[in-house]
Amino acid sequence: MEFSTKTLAPERAPGACVVAGVFESRKLSAAAAALDRASGGAVRALVKRGDMDGKAGTVRMLYKTRRVAAERVLLVGLGKEADFGAKAYREAVRAAVGALAETGAVDAHVFLADLPVRDQDLAWRVLQTTTVAAETLYRFDEMKSKKSAPRALKRFVIATASKAGAADAARGLAEGRAIAAGVALARDLGNLPANVCTPSYLADAATRLARDWKLGVEVLERRDMERLGMNTLLSVAQGSRQPPKFIVLRYNGAGKGAKPVVLVGKGITFDTGGISIKPAAEMDEMKFDMCGAASVLGTLRALAELAPAINVVGLVPATENMPGGAATKPGDVIKSMSGQTVEVLNTDAEGRLILCDALTYAERYDPAAVVDVATLTGACVIALGHVATGLFSNRDELADELADAGRQAWDRAWPMPLWDDYQEQLKSPFADLANIGGRPAGSVTAACFLSRFAKKYPWAHLDIAGTAWTSGKNKGATGRPVALLARFILNRAAMA
Ligand code: BES
Ligand code: MN
Ligand code: ZN
């Protein structure tokens, strides 16, 4: 899809379709009113007949409207004007794009970005129009022998009635395009089956990304990890036939002296649980256990296009978690790269075992901040459901920054405690710490485990177990939290 912005009057918008909003109940937006005036009352007449009452998510298509240049007029219900905020705006865009996709329209002029959205400016509205439209049209049929027919809709014009704010609109468009591409990359990688998307595949994808976008890349092999003493990472890999990979990506947008932000993504390409094997139901979804890694690649993809003045390093420990003959057994004690020993009481708590060595490796960058992203705990899904990502940090300011970025991007994260009191649960009689802390507060004790390896820098952990993919008939990766991470980095770059 080709996205652009343009200033013109709605009735003059050429092509297949012009899109305008109607509030509940039956109040026309400025764009809908302009179409109504031009057409001699066609919109108001339809609204009066009761065919569009403005309820959120509803749509009505009109054909061949008098003195309107476009072939079609699509009216979109916006819901109550008093409630028109970020969520309602996104729903309106989704509804409009969904309706457009069901027609043969090859292009559309969409007059929604002029609508006043509570607390949001024009750049936000243009960015969100772009990312929500791209997300709605996303399809994954790479593994089907019969691909779905290409979409008719090719050009999407985000139209505004006034030239004021053209620079903001352009910025929103550029960020929207780049973030949409990053989200799509993360979704593609997440959706690929685990027999294709192995640790080697992820390393190749990172290498391709680096070549296409002039990023630095390095892939550490098993022997490199052995030399570095990444034994907890290797202890997860040892049950698998697939070789583990440790991927390092670098985006340098600032001077050599500028401390980087390090993003760490959990890259378990399939999580069987290992010897502490998982039950069969829905185990297929554990192909999504590398969505943290995918989000790091997606974020770097977006940043490379936008070229902000900041340095960013992406680290991806990648391995399968399998129950092979050489697999780690419950009770095994492993010495991590940090020197701390870990009693592996449950081999299904493997995410933290690969992340802890990556967090130690991150020390070499003298980072401004480290943010890890992981489908870490089922307990986080119980705590926050599929709405908010779990947010943990050893610095309140960093947590606030990430929560703000999530709100702006509408890819929200919610703070969870990381108090010392919970560390008790990780005590082990045989090692420095255990890799599980029992049933209570499972997402918190997982974060507490990671915190023991993140003492040397400001650090945050995003538990995306509930937000990285959806289950059921629309099963698939969401691309979260690429939008949050990209916003966080762009905000930081703008501050410097
Ligand atoms: N990848 C899973 C977490 C997960 C489970 C995410 C279900 C989304 C849905 C992780 O490796 C895991 O298995 N965690 C265990 C930890 C437990 C053994 C302490 C869990 O959450 O059950
Ligand atoms: Mn697991
Ligand atoms: Zn896992």
What does the pLDDT look like over 263-296, one tens digit per residue? 999 999 999 999 999 999 999 999 999 999 999 9
Closest ligand to C-alpha of residue 268 is: 3
Residue 371 pLDDT more than 90? yes
Closest ligand to C-alpha of residue 436 is: 1
Which two three-digit tokens encode residue 263? 């993003």
- The reported pLDDT for the residue numbered 162 is 87
The catalytic residue among 60, 87, 278, 407 is: 278
Q: For ligand 1, which residues put their CB under 6 angstroms from it?
A: 271, 289, 346, 348-351, 375-379, 381, 436, 442, 465
Residue 125 pLDDT more than 90? yes
Q: Which residues are CB-contacts of 333 (< 8 A; sequence separation ≥ 6)?
A: 341, 342, 343, 344, 430, 431
For ligand 1, atom 22: residue with the closest CA:
378
- The reported pLDDT for the residue numbered 473 is 95
Q: Distance from the CA of 321 to the center of ligand 2, in angstroms? A: 8
Residue 42 pLDDT more than 90? yes
Which two three-digit tokens encode residue 216? 């630095």
pLDDT digits (tens, 9 = 90+) for 82-122: 999 999 999 999 999 999 999 999 999 999 999 999 999 99
Q: Own/partner pairs for 444-449, CB < 8 Å, 24+ apart?
A: 444/392, 444/416, 444/417, 444/418, 446/349, 446/351, 446/352, 446/376, 446/377, 446/379, 446/380, 447/376, 447/390, 447/392, 447/416, 447/418, 448/418, 448/422, 448/423, 449/352, 449/356
For ligand 1, atom 3: residue with the closest CA:
377
Average pLDDT over residues 309-324: 98
The catalytic residue among 72, 125, 266, 352 is: 352
- The reported pLDDT for the residue numbered 496 is 80
Where residue 161 falls among pLDDT bands split at 50, 70, 90?
A: confident
Q: What percent of the chain has pLDDT over 70?
A: 100
Helices 122-137 & 166-191 angle (0-180, nearest 10): 30
Average pLDDT over residues 464-484: 98
The values of phi and psi at residue 384, to 5°, are: -120, -5
Q: Distance from the CA of 42 to the center of ligand 3, in angstroms? A: 56
Average pLDDT over residues 240-260: 98
Ion ligand 3: residues, CB within 5 A, are 268, 271, 289, 351
The values of phi and psi at residue 168, to 5°, are: -65, -40
Q: Distance from the CA of 451 to the center of ligand 2, in angstroms? A: 19
Average pLDDT for the chain: 98
Name beta bridge partners: 369.
261
What sign does the dihedral 80-86-88-90 (CA atoms) show? positive
Q: Measure the CA–CA gap between 460 and 451, rounded to whole angstroms.
A: 9
For ligand 1, atom 7: residue with the closest CA:
378
For ligand 1, atom 16: residue with the closest CA:
349
Closest ligand 1 atom to Cα of 286: 1
Verify whether residue 278 is a known catalytic residue: yes
CATH of region 2-159, choose from 3.40.220.10, 3.40.30.10, 3.40.50.620, 3.40.50.1970: 3.40.220.10
The domain segmentation of the chain, as residue ranges, is 2-159, 180-495
Average pLDDT over residues 346-360: 99
- To test the pocket of ligand 1, the residue of 277, 291, 328, 348 to mutate (highest count of ligand atoms within 8 Å of its CB) is 348
Q: Distance from the CA of 349 to the center of ligand 1, in angstroms? A: 6
Q: Distance from the CA of 208 to the center of ligand 2, in angstroms? A: 28
pLDDT digits (tens, 9 = 90+) for 378-391: 999 999 999 999 99
Q: Distance from the CA of 163 to the center of ligand 3, in angstroms? A: 50
Which two three-digit tokens encode residue 425? 């649960």
What fold, for 180-495? Aminopeptidase (3.40.630)
Q: Which residues are CB-contacts of 378 (< 8 A; sequence separation ≥ 6)?
A: 442, 465
For ligand 1, atom 17: residue with the closest CA:
349
